[in-house]
Amino acid sequence: MTRLSVNINKVATLRNARGGNIPNVVQVAIDCEKFGAQGITVHPRPDGRHIRYEDVAALRRVVATEFNIEGNPEPSFVDLTLKVQPEQVTLVPDTHDALTSNAGWDTKKHAAFLRDITQTFKRKGIRVSIFVDALPDMVRGAAEAGADRVELYTEPYAAQYARQRETAVAPFVAAALTAAECGLGLNAGHDLNLSNLHYFRTEVSGLLEVSIGHALISDALYFGLEETIKKYVKELEI
């Protein structure tokens, strides 16, 4: 079964809008796991506009399933991740001013850098996933860099899903086959939701994990957090 990792960045965004500690991101992570999530994802950025570096350390002490830290591997992020030692680090090439992640790595252009940073994390026993577009060459480049997994950037799929879902999913089916040929595990994330998740899960083979934040937290405003997580877990069942 594909694992659901809940990205709790939006919870921290709400907290930071008012100051203080409401909602409490640590308690939300605990509750997500209690309600059925099989992982917790955070994406700390240097400006601290949602998850802060101190949140990451606090979460490491309580996450009992699988902790995934994603972000651009600049020095402060690398130091934090090596100190916290999550089960997985997901390398994302976002810039400081990016509203959200909007592209995967060019694993050919940045081959040497990705190879070096991947080995830095793997020496500490941290599984490395590289965020890529659904392009076979980019998947192969991640394998050549020594990654354990790739995370497919699924916004293009989500954007086209309502118009022509077969066309939308086709590149991801091909990328998944390439990942399997390269011996890579497969993750996916970005704009997956209750409408498009099940079809993606059934069409894309070997999917180990999805990371979902914005849509899931938004749905929780209507359904409640517990019911929402149960709905997402159900969508991942075949």
Query: Could you say which of 33, 43, 66, 235 is catalytic?
Result: 43
Instruction: Determine whether 43 is an active site residue.
Output: yes
Distance CA 31, CA 14 (A): 17
How far is residue 120 from each of residues 46, 123, 129, 134, 147, measured CA to CA in Å? Answer: 20, 6, 13, 25, 11
In the set 33, 66, 70, 151, the catalytic residue is: 70
Q: Which two tokens stand for residue 154?
A: 């699924």
Catalytic residue at 70? yes
Q: Is 85 helix (H, G, I), strand (E, B) or coil?
A: coil
Query: Is 214 among the catalytic positions?
Result: no
**Inter-residue contact 174 to 137 (CB < 8 Å):** no
User: Which is catalytic among the residues 33, 50, 151, 190?
Assistant: 190
For 35-175, list the strands marked E by DSSP.
39-42, 67-71, 88-91, 127-132, 149-153
Side-chain-side CA neighbours of 78 within 13 Å: the count stands at 13
Contact 139, 177 (CB under 8 A): no
* Structure tokens belonging to residue 15: 């907290």
Residues annotated as catalytic (active site), given as ranges: 43, 70, 190
